[in-house]
């Protein structure tokens, strides 16, 4: 058991903050007249959403085998990244650590919050070098370490996450945006052991509901209370909460969609083998490929000309483009174009 005190990591102003409590959301009524929030009595979506997202948390609690008091819901996991930084990182003073390359939003929100962004460069297989990690965390105080597994944009998973929890006394965020594609174990099971662990998941990728903007943080009760205190009370709207509940009722959709995407991924992978402009396809646990092209500028421009939108990673990752798995029609369009470039 890890003996980290969360309170010692929290900004002082946040520790003193009183949460905004929506009275109606924290009490039970039979048939109330809602005259407390200046809403209109008319309209289809006239009431404010449940600020505690109770139904959603109860459903997720069953699905993930985590107590509702250990779940926070955000307007996408992006909002949760922002809130975590605001809770733990003093502007102009504290630093965060992230993998390089990794998801840009950690650095983006840290910069807005005026925190220093330290990066740990991944090796040629996009793995973390543990000795580098130990050296970096010894050299300077770091408040939050963002681990992304599977990592965006490289696609590989982080090995031995527990090592980082055991050798770091700040907050460890494990971003599992792509975990459903990976077949790997979630870090959720480590929550009972590490009070400084935050696991992020999202409805934006495998669940196919990016438009609703709903993400989850799973953590110790202490951390979840802090997130609930600093979040905007009505951060997840009524329509999104309802849509997610409906989707959770049809849970088979998730497995079906993941299977379909993984089958398409394999289909693409087979065809990539015969394409001459491809130098290397990196191993991936996610729903996307990081691909090194022989003439990246030309390939990217030709795809764009055909309105095939991909994510150019060159020059940060030399020669590389990130391409996600689409439906068969899109994947065929991609393969046909890449074949033509080779000729």
Ligand X SMILES: *Cc1c(COP(=O)(O)O)cnc(C)c1O
Which residues here bind ligand X, judged by CB under 6 A? Answer: 76-78, 103, 148, 152, 175, 177, 202, 204-205, 210, 215
Residue number closest to ligand X, CB atom: 76
Consecutive H or E run containing 215: strand 215-219
Query: Judged by CB, which is closer to ligand X: 4, or 98?
Result: 98
**300/315 Cα distance (integer angstroms):** 12
Q: Report the nearest approach of ligand X to the CB of residue 149 (Å).
A: 9
Q: Report the nearest approach of ligand X to the CB of residue 204 (Å).
A: 3
**238-249 helix and 54-64 helix, angle to the nearest 10 degrees:** 30
- Residue 172: helix, strand or coil by DSSP? strand
Query: Judged by CB, which is closer to ligand X: 155, or 195?
Result: 155
**275/337 Cα distance (integer angstroms):** 10
Q: Report the nearest approach of ligand X to the CB of residue 203 (Å).
A: 7
User: What's the 3-state SS for 100-127?
Assistant: ECCCHHHHHHHHHCCCEEEEEECCCCCC
DSSP 311: E
Q: Report the nearest approach of ligand X to the CB of residue 260 (Å).
A: 19
User: Helix H segments across 184-290?
Assistant: 221-230, 238-249, 252-272
Q: Report the nearest approach of ligand X to the CB of residue 92 (Å).
A: 26
DSSP 217: E
Q: Report the nearest approach of ligand X to the CB of residue 97 (Å).
A: 15
Query: Judged by CB, which is closer to ligand X: 106, or 300?
Result: 106
Query: Judged by CB, which is closer to ligand X: 50, or 175?
Result: 175
Consecutive H or E run containing 179: helix 179-182
Query: Judged by CB, which is closer to ligand X: 49, or 76?
Result: 76
**98/313 Cα distance (integer angstroms):** 17
Query: Judged by CB, which is closer to ligand X: 86, or 205?
Result: 205
């Amino acid at each position: 058991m890890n003996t980290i005190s969360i309170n010692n990591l929290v900004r002082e102003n946040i520790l003193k903050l009183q949460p905004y409590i929506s009275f109606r959301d924290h009490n039970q009524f039979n048939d109330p007249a809602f005259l407390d929030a200046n809403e209109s009595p008319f309209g289809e979506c006239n009431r404010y959403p449940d600020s505690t997202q109770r139904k959603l948390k109860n459903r997720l609690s069953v699905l993930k085998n985590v107590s509702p008091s250990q779940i926070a819901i955000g307007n996408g996991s992006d909002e949760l990244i922002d809130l975590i930084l605001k809770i733990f990182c003093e502007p102009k003073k504290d630093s965060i650590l992230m993998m390089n390359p990794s998801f840009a939003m950690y650095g983006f929100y840290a910069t807005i919050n005026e925190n220093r962004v330290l990066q740990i460069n991944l090796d040629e297989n996009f793995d973390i070098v543990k000795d580098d990690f130990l050296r970096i965390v010894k050299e300077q105080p770091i408040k939050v370490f963002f681990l992304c597994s599977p990592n965006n944009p490289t696609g590989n998973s982080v090995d031995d996450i527990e090592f980082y929890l055991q050798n770091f006394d700040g907050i460890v965020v494990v971003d599992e945006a792509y975990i459903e594609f990976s077949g790997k174990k979630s870090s959720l099971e480590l929550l009972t052991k590490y009070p400084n662990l935050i696991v992020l998941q999202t409805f934006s990728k495998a669940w196919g509901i990016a438009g609703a903007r709903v993400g989850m943080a799973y953590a110790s009760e202490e951390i979840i209370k802090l997130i609930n205190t600093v979040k905007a009370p009505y951060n997840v709207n009524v329509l999104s909460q309802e849509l997610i509940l409906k989707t959770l009722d049809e849970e088979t959709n998730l497995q079906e969609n993941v299977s379909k995407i993984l089958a398409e991924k394999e289909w693409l992978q087979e065809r990539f083998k015969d394409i001459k402009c491809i130098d290397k396809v990196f191993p991936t646990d996610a729903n996307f490929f990081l691909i090194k092209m022989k003439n990246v500028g030309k390939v990217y421009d030709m795809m764009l000309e055909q309105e095939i939108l991909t994510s150019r990673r060159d020059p940060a990752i030399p020669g590389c483009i990130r391409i996600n798995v689409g439906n068969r029609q899109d994947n065929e369009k991609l393969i046909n174009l890449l074949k033509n470039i080779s000729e």
